[in-house]
Amino acid sequence: MRASQRRPHAVNASAADSSPASSPASWPVSTRLQALRQRMADKGWQAVLIPSSDPHLSEYLPDRWQGRVWLSGFTGSSGTLLVSATQAAVFTDSRYWEQAEVELAGSGVDLVKLDGPAVPAYVQWLAAQAGVAAPATLAIDGTVMGLAQTQLLQDALKIKGWQLHTSEDVLDGIWPDRPALPAAAVFEHAQPYAATPRADKLAALRQAMKDKGATHHWIATLDDLAWVLNLRGADVEYNPVFLGHALIGLDDAALFVAEGKIDTALQARLSVDGVAVRPYNQALSAMKALPDGSTLLIDPKRITWGLREAVPAGVKLIEAINPTTLAKSRKIPEEAGFIREAMERDGAAMCTFYAWLEQALGHEHISELTIDERLSAERAKQPGYVSLSFPTIAGFNANGAQPHYRATAESHAMISTPQGLCEEGLLLIDSGAQYVGGTTDITRVWPIGTPSAAQKRDYTL
The per-residue pLDDT for range 165-208, each reduced to its tens digit, is 999 999 999 999 999 999 999 999 999 999 999 999 999 999 99
Looking at the fold, whether 213 and 314 belong to one and the same domain comes out as yes
Residue 418 has a pLDDT of: 96
Cis-peptide, bond into residue 135, ω within 30° of zero: yes
Looking at the fold, whether 262 and 362 belong to one and the same domain comes out as no
Residue 339 has a pLDDT of: 97
**402 in a domain, yes or no?**
yes
**4 in a domain, yes or no?**
no
Confidence (pTM): 0.87
Per the structure, the complete domain to which residue 84 belongs is given by 24-165
pLDDT digits (tens, 9 = 90+) for 78-128: 999 999 999 999 999 998 998 999 999 999 999 999 999 999 999 999 999
**347 in a domain, yes or no?**
yes
Looking at the fold, whether 371 and 293 belong to one and the same domain comes out as no
Looking at the fold, whether 343 and 321 belong to one and the same domain comes out as no
Strand pairing class (245-249; 216-219): antiparallel
Pick from 123, 133, 95, 125: nearest CA to 109: 125
Burial of 252 (0-12, 13-18, 19+ CB in 10 A): exposed
Looking at the fold, whether 244 and 344 belong to one and the same domain comes out as no
Looking at the fold, whether 36 and 133 belong to one and the same domain comes out as yes
Cβ atoms of 368 and 413 within 8 Å: the answer is yes
Separation CA 151–CA 215 (nearest Å)? 25
Looking at the fold, whether 355 and 311 belong to one and the same domain comes out as no
**17 in a domain, yes or no?**
no
Looking at the fold, whether 309 and 392 belong to one and the same domain comes out as no
Instruction: Report the side by side order of strands in the sheet with 216-219.
Output: 275-279, 253-257, 245-249, 216-219, 295-298, 316-319
Looking at the fold, whether 382 and 448 belong to one and the same domain comes out as yes
Separation CA 445–CA 459 (nearest Å)? 9
**419 in a domain, yes or no?**
yes
Pick from 42, 29, 41, 132: nearest CA to 81: 29
327 φ/ψ angles, rounded to the nearest 5 degrees: -65, -40
Q: What is the CATH number of the domain that holds 420?
A: 3.90.230.10
Separation CA 357–CA 354 (nearest Å)? 5
Number of domains making up the chain: 3
Pick from 229, 440, 239: nearest CA to 339: 440
Pick from 149, 144, 96: nearest CA to 120: 149
Q: What is the CATH number of the domain that holds 137?
A: 3.40.350.10
Residue 239 has a pLDDT of: 93
Residues forming beta bridges with residue 236, ordered by sequence position:
239
Cis-peptide, bond into residue 447, ω within 30° of zero: no
Residues 30/36/42/47 CA torsion (nearest 10 deg): -100
Looking at the fold, whether 269 and 356 belong to one and the same domain comes out as no
Domain boundary, last residue among 303, 327, 351: 327
> Alpha carbon of 36 to those of 30, 72, 176: distances in Å?
10, 11, 12
Residue 60 has a pLDDT of: 86
Looking at the fold, whether 160 and 32 belong to one and the same domain comes out as yes
**177 in a domain, yes or no?**
no
Burial of 397 (0-12, 13-18, 19+ CB in 10 A): middle
Residue 59 has a pLDDT of: 85
Looking at the fold, whether 418 and 390 belong to one and the same domain comes out as yes
Domain boundary, last residue among 117, 134, 165: 165
Low-confidence ranges of the chain (pLDDT < 70): 1-25
**176 in a domain, yes or no?**
no
**173 in a domain, yes or no?**
no
> Alpha carbon of 186 to those of 61, 238, 241, 242, 322: distances in Å?
17, 15, 8, 7, 23
Pick from 217, 228, 182, 181: nearest CA to 302: 217
Distance in angstroms between the alpha carbons of the first and the last residue of the chain: 28
pLDDT digits (tens, 9 = 90+) for 302-343: 999 999 999 999 999 999 999 999 999 999 999 999 999 999
Residue 405 has a pLDDT of: 87
Separation CA 445–CA 441 (nearest Å)? 14
Residues forming beta bridges with residue 447, ordered by sequence position:
426
Domain boundary, last residue among 115, 131, 165: 165
